[in-house]
Structure 1
């Protein structure tokens, strides 16, 4: 590839093009399009440790580009083939599930606004709230389920496949934590439920339904939702790699099992072109019809909006906005593959890109932004004039926000402990992040802000009293956030844990040089002193183990099994609670009997208090006992 193409691609990745759309290159110039994409891919595969990638671009019912980069199998020296190489597309599979649902809707077999329990044969959704969950709620991720997955969401053992969707969803049913229709909380469980409804309503197994009614209908010969891929397609499956010691090492694939409607797909780029064209042409691909035009239009239209000025959810697709273009999209990621699919209905344009290994998520985001910068450029951003009061009342937006997509009732809750976003106010602007990653947003309307020097926008919701309750970032339209209550804030717990740890350290360090003196104490005082040292040491070990064993657990291990180390670790917080209760009782007894000096009794009490604080931390974050979903 010419160096000029590589340099040009690099420049477009870094910043939006200036000038109007009229000066944009012609998308139908196949040679320039290919050179441009080649340049980006060359940079990405080299700099982001990516062994293989594939892309397909369609417009106005025809393929503009379909090309593979790197290798689908390094050991065999097999290059990526856009026609036949099967890339794992993870959650992008959901689009097949939602399309299947809409096929049954247009046949009159599913009503989007009817209680889903009407259609389920084996699974029963509890009536936690007065309003039932409907298919529309599932398709817009507004059913109100908590998130989960520790120990059961995936498997790496093909011998455990296949498994029943119904049995899986019954065994691992998440709690309903929000009334349906209230707010988006992305849910793999909700999509798997929709896939089960496809089975129950059609009378056809989910895998077979997708094969017959989508893949066969569109002539998608290199596509499957079976796990592992069928024997006849196995030679074409791209291998997943991780970078180890400067080389690519093949890793076992992960499988969705009973959650397969949410992420089991393996598809070639050219076959995804067919699927994209069908949706862009309102259900028509050649002589084949995937959906009726009116059904496709309903599916692609906004169905739930956080704010009408920001992207929301269509039925199954989430909306994005890049350089002024409305996009309906869906991505997918597993530990080894990253995929994005973008449809721009107004332009008849579709883009599918998938990467194996490396920084594929970053690469996909850069690719899409570079593409739109080049072919749909925007000029320099000029902010609309805003009322002065919009710049004077920014403090109400400041604070911590947590994602609505999180767990409340199981051990999974702990993994949202650090997943919070902090917003600050400086110079009449809102700031997110710090250093090179910091983004600055200026007000452009009531509760609406735009990135300074960029096009990204964020919006807020307020309650009847004007208090800010929610946040949405337009580049994460399926992941709204809400105000973090004090009890969940890292700004509360981290200082408390640090202070508690400091007390424990002084207790342990103070005990060591006093061992002889303690031996000479009366028995009750001797055991009370030993109890404080044991509690402090155990608390420090438990805290360290929490962050080393639990928080840093390998993602595949976390989602595929309950490890022995996790099982054993969970004894530690329970023992700490027992020691903490004993410390409180011992402290009360020490004050009553006037053990030691007053200062030593105060320090003893502080150690007991620190142990209680740490025990409350484990209780609040569901680390007391074996709370698995």
Structure 2
């Protein structure tokens, strides 16, 4: 493992990372190692058998292993409606098709992505799992089984499902049925285990401000040695040192493909992702939380598994450098393949071009839509070249694809597949592997809405500021007042404008007030009364509707002067545009849970 040690040393030197832990299982051979220092403990070296790392979404590997235990013991079947077994959560009955355990394990239940409730800043704010998953239940935005959309809620709900089936708390069940039999004595779902920061005089609370509020999805703390034993269980038919946690058939089933949008695309196993390196099939899951990153990868056909955990500001980069080194050794890829070339124009070429936005944004029905739209993955722009290549541009990355069958494209150099999905004969979605994007119109683009907001705000201000200024000037210098109908109309339009201004002020004020309280952040866990904030712009919409009626009547009756009618209509139109933008981002009549 000299190459591994060199890679770990290089990764810590190349990246702003403090420590790494590695576990490699190759048949009956197990290698574990530690590199660098423990988290925020520079005088304490990483030891694979005792140094704790946070593993983020790799926590889900333990959760889905526990879920498969329930299946293996006949307590639930993968195709059983989870509503029949859940005692603490009522799922929306939006569609006739029930959500099953299989849907949860493949991230196809049809939930919107829910960010609120996933994390808190202090360990004392972490809620019992039953409360976390039953509060702010995400909306069901499509029938189950149609589209993959990765969410923490699916794994968290599965954790509660395990608890309701077993009659034990999730943490206790996993400890008794996974960790203890495998000898994973240091692994825990406690939110702030003292061993995470072993340095004297420093507590976890002193240096950590992220705590999972959905522990089955992202709350595991573990060591490299413990994860080596979980790798062994998955590679050796569910048995480690004579202790069985799963039947061999259950392990095989867990690693089989359970969902894919197309036969050419790597899909989902039972809770883990498929991957490919040439002809080698991987079963894997990655994870990260602030200051930590991890990777859990199985190569079942080679009886090989690896785990890498890292901490530091650039933990993800350091982790990936070590992972790449290991995969180059155990699953090398021949990169000398020929570049693919198109043999004509793609079908539906004109329909494919445009901009596509992540369904994490487009399918969200709460006010979180704006957060995802501004802060999550960048949109994908698609265009077709004259020689038939399809070009995708996302941020700084540009890729080229050729069509291999209608609506299916292969990368010209890499082993990647791009799909387009039709609904009623129209192209609606782009799928880059499992990541789904929905085609959006020109008016939905952030840049267009940004310029609309600026232009509409300037025009609206000419009324909000100009009308009172003109009235004051007339009082000061004297002059003929406008008709009473104009004054009334301006008051109504002003109320609509005031609704916008007041909404911004109230939202900012509430955000500052909540941030100063000893409670979770506004995004992590909005207070129950927060929905009242959205009443303000809702009342403004009502006033603006009245202003639209005044404008229409003025034009129909030929009231007021032409200049007055044009300006009033422009102000009301601008106000309407601003309210339309609020509505687009779910800031009116918002579903708050």
Q: TM-score range by the shorter chain?
A: 0.7 to 0.9
In 2, Cα distance between the equivalents of 1:280 and 1:548? Answer: 54
Deviation, structure 1 residue 307:
0.9
- Deviations 1:81-107 (CA, angstroms, capped at 9, x unpaired): 322121122221111111111112111
Structure 1 residues 46-61: aligned runs within 5 Å = 50-61=17-28
Structure 1 residues 504-515: aligned runs within 5 Å = 504-507=460-463, 514=470
The answer to whether the Cα contact below 8 Å between 1:383 and 1:444 also exists between their aligned partners in 2 is no
Q: Secondary structure at the match of 2:50?
A: coil
The answer to whether the Cα contact below 8 Å between 1:320 and 1:329 also exists between their aligned partners in 2 is yes
Q: Which residue of 2 aligns with 1:432?
A: 392
The answer to whether the Cα contact below 8 Å between 2:459 and 2:571 also exists between their aligned partners in 1 is yes
Match status 1:480 vs 2:446? no
Q: Which residue of 1 aligns with 2:537?
A: 573
Q: Which residue of 2 aligns with 1:202?
A: 166
The answer to whether the Cα contact below 8 Å between 2:15 and 2:317 also exists between their aligned partners in 1 is no
In 2, Cα distance between the equivalents of 1:548 and 1:62? Answer: 59
Structure 1 residues 45-444: aligned runs within 5 Å = 45=16, 50-74=17-41, 77-150=43-116, 152-161=117-126, 163=128, 165-229=129-193, 235=198, 250-256=207-213, 259-369=214-324, 371-373=326-328, 376-384=332-340, 387-390=343-346, 393-406=348-361, 408-418=364-374, 420-427=379-386, 428-433=388-393, 436-444=396-404
**TM-score, normalisation: structure 1:** 0.80
Deviation, structure 1 residue 623:
1.1
Higher mean alpha-carbon deviation, 205-214 vs 587-596, is at: 587-596
Q: Which residue of 1 aligns with 2:11?
A: 40
Shift in CA distance, 162/628, structure 1 to aligned 2, threshold 3 Å: closer
- Deviations 1:575-622 (CA, angstroms, capped at 9, x unpaired): 542552353344346557866641332121011011112212222322
Shift in CA distance, 604/54, structure 1 to aligned 2, threshold 3 Å: farther
Q: Secondary structure at the match of 2:113?
A: coil
- Deviations 1:323-362 (CA, angstroms, capped at 9, x unpaired): 5432211122223422222222223222322333424345
In 2, Cα distance between the equivalents of 1:583 and 1:367? Answer: 63
The answer to whether the Cα contact below 8 Å between 1:91 and 1:263 also exists between their aligned partners in 2 is yes
The answer to whether the Cα contact below 8 Å between 1:504 and 1:607 also exists between their aligned partners in 2 is yes
For structure 2, which runs of at least 5 residues remain unmatched after alignment? Answer: none
Deviation, structure 1 residue 566:
7.1
In 2, Cα distance between the equivalents of 1:173 and 1:482? Answer: 23
In 1, Cα distance between the equivalents of 2:114 and 2:257? Answer: 27
Shift in CA distance, 64/209, structure 1 to aligned 2, threshold 3 Å: same
Alignment size in residue pairs: 576
Deviation, structure 1 residue 517:
3.8
In 1, Cα distance between the equivalents of 2:542 and 2:556? Answer: 21
In 1, Cα distance between the equivalents of 2:588 and 2:444? Answer: 17
- Deviations 1:415-466 (CA, angstroms, capped at 9, x unpaired): 333454332233432233367422333334443333444443322234574x
**TM-score, normalisation: structure 2:** 0.85
Shift in CA distance, 126/393, structure 1 to aligned 2, threshold 3 Å: closer
Q: Which residue of 2 aligns with 1:619?
A: 583
Structure 1 residues 501-580: aligned runs within 5 Å = 501-507=457-463, 514=470, 516-519=472-475, 520=479, 521-522=481-482, 524=484, 525=486, 528=489, 539=500, 557-562=521-526, 570=534, 573-574=537-538, 576-580=540-544
For structure 1, which runs of at least 5 residues remain unmatched after alignment? Answer: 1-29, 243-248
Deviation, structure 1 residue 216:
1.0
- Deviations 1:36-82 (CA, angstroms, capped at 9, x unpaired): 3321332022xxxx3444333332232334223344124x6333332
Alpha-carbon RMSD across the aligned residues, in angstroms, is 3.7
Q: Secondary structure at the match of 1:77?
A: strand
In 2, Cα distance between the equivalents of 1:487 and 1:364? Answer: 40
In 1, Cα distance between the equivalents of 2:306 and 2:507? Answer: 42
Q: Which residue of 2 aligns with 1:602?
A: 566
